[in-house]
């Protein structure tokens, strides 16, 4: 556990140091001058950080919700049913992960412009679903492969209607998988840069978009501070869900 924490947190240490310096350049081992300048710029209430954080959270949360909405029924069919062409369908679910995102983005950009989705929140959400949904579907297919449908039959014959079956049988059984699938969908959306830039057209300014443009500006202190702002929510989410990620690990290989 300590090792896991170290691997995740250690790379952030230089960033923290970097974010509190002024003019920290290569030959120096220790920063010549400490400063909170970068943080006061990054966290300024009228700065772009909060807006970008808002965009990122809104996009990622919507993507997560929609990915799960698709993944539960799709995962159920893939995990529980045997039918002709199931393997092919499973492969088709995976294909968005095999094709480079840039290629997909360029192709979709033209269509999205025509549909008026280019440069909109929903356009970005839709394009994020392309890489995010397959992860969610595959994880839930694994969860449902280990799910016994007779449990639902049992509940129904004991008097449970469809909503009660969902609430008392299906949801408790798939909850760990749902959390893991949601976590993956969230991270995939959270880390999209190219697709957001292509479809968002500079109007949907999520954190990665802001971060890349800041980094190319060359101010290491501000870049460091912004990177920490970018990484912290995901780390917090990882801490909250880690228990389920470990537990559901076996389920994924069950496909």
Partner 1 sequence: MTTRVDLVGLTKHFGSVHPVEDFSLAIQPGRVTALLGPSGSGKTTLLKMIAGVLRPTSGDILFDGESVVDLPAPERDAPMVFHNALLFPQLTVEDNVGFGLRMRKTPPAERSGRVAEMLELVGLHDLRTRRPEQLSGGQQQRVALARALVVSPRLLLLDEPLANLDPDLRNEMRELLLSVQRSLGLTMLLVTHDQEDAIVVADHVALIRDGSLVQEGVARDFFERPASAWVAMFFGAGNLIPGERTNNEVVTPLGRLRVIAESPASGPVLVTIRPEAVVLDAVEGQANTFEGTVIAAEFRGNHIRMQLTAGGLNLEATAPVDDAKGHAVGDTVRVALPPDKLWSLPAE
Distance between CA atoms of residues 73 and 64, nearest Å: 15
Minimum CB distance to partner 1, residue 176 (Å): 11
Cβ closest to partner 1, residue 95 vs residue 164: 164
| Shortest separation between residue 147's beta carbon and partner 1, angstroms | 11
Cβ-Cβ contacts under 8 Å for 187 (sequence gap 6 or more):
234, 237
Question: Which residue number, 157 or 216, has a Cβ lying nearer to partner 1?
Answer: 157
Residue ranges binding partner 1 (CB under 8 A) = 148, 150-151, 153-161, 164, 168-169, 172-173
Extended beta strands in the chain, E state = none
Does residue 185 contact residue 63 with C-beta atoms inside 8 Å? yes
In the numeric block, the tokens 């995939």 are attached to 188
Comparing CB distances to partner 1, the nearer of 107 and 161 is: 161
Min CB(139)–partner 1 separation in Å = 20
- In angstroms, what is the minimal distance from the CB of 165 to partner 1? 9
CA distance 206 to 184: 18
Of the two residues 95 and 154, which places its CB atom closer to partner 1 in the complex?
Answer: 154
Distance in angstroms (rounded) separating the CA atoms of residues 121 and 88: 32
């Amino acid at each position: 556990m300590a090792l896991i924490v170290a691997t995740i947190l250690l790379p952030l240490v230089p960033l923290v140091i970097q974010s509190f310096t002024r003019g920290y350049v290569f030959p120096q081992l220790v920063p010549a001058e400490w400063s909170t300048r970068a943080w006061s710029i990054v966290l300024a209430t009228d700065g772009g950080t909060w807006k970008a954080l808002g965009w990122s959270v809104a996009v990622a949360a919507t993507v997560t919700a929609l990915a799960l909405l698709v993944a539960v029924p799709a995962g159920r069919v893939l995990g529980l049913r045997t039918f002709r062409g199931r393997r092919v369908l499973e492969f088709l679910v995976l294909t968005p992960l095999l094709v480079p995102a840039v290629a997909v983005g360029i192709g979709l950009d033209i269509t999205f412009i025509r549909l008026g989705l280019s440069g909109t929140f929903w356009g970005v959400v839709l394009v994020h679903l392309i890489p995010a949904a397959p992860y969610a579907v595959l994880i839930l297919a694994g969860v449902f492969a280990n799910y016994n449908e007779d449990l639902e039959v049992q509940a129904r014959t004991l008097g449970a209607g469809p909503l009660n079956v969902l609430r008392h049988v299906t949801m408790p059984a798939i909850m760990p998988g749902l959390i893991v699938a949601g976590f993956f969908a969230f991270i995939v959306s959270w880390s999209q840069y190219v697709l957001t830039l292509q479809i968002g057209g500079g109007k949907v300014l999520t954190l990665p978009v802001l971060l890349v443009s800041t980094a190319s500006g060359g101010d290491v202190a501000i870049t460091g501070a912004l990177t920490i702002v970018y990484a912290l929510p995901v780390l917090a989410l990882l801490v909250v869900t880690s228990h389920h990620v470990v537990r559901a690990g076996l389920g994924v290989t069950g496909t």
